[in-house]
Amino acid sequence: MKFLSKRVCDYTSFHSDLDSTKHGRSSGGVSLFIHNSLATHVQFYQSHSSRILSVDLFFKGNVKLRIFVVYIPPTNDLVLRYEVIDQLISLISQTSSQNFHHAICGDFNMNLEKFYPIFLHQPQVAAKKVHKLFHYLLSHNYEDCTSLNLSSTLGTYHHLDTITRIDFVWSCPLLRRYMLTSTIFDAYDLHISD
CA torsion, ordered 101, 141, 176, 87, to nearest 10 deg: 40
107-158 pLDDT per residue, tens: 888 877 777 788 778 877 777 777 889 889 989 999 887 654 444 554 555 4
| Cα-trace Rg, the chain | 17
pLDDT tens, residue order, the chain (194 aa)? 455 556 677 889 899 887 766 555 555 688 888 989 999 999 999 999 999 999 999 999 998 999 999 998 888 888 998 999 999 999 999 999 998 999 998 888 887 777 778 877 887 777 777 788 988 998 999 988 765 444 455 455 545 555 455 577 888 888 766 665 555 444 444 444 44
H-type alpha helices, the chain: 2-5, 36-39, 78-97, 112-121, 123-126, 132-139
Instruction: Return the number of other C-beta atoms located less than 10 Å from residue 149's C-beta.
Output: 17
Output DSSP code: residue 19: -
Cα-based distances in Å from 95 to 55, 92, 100, 107, 141: 12, 5, 6, 20, 15
Please name each of the domains of the chain with its CATH number: 2-178 (3.60.10.10)
The torsion angles phi and psi of 39, rounded to 5 degrees, stand at: -65, -25
Distance CA 134, CA 143 (A): 10
Q: In what order do the strands lie in the sheet with 63-71?
A: 42-49, 52-59, 63-71, 101-107, 167-171, 143-144
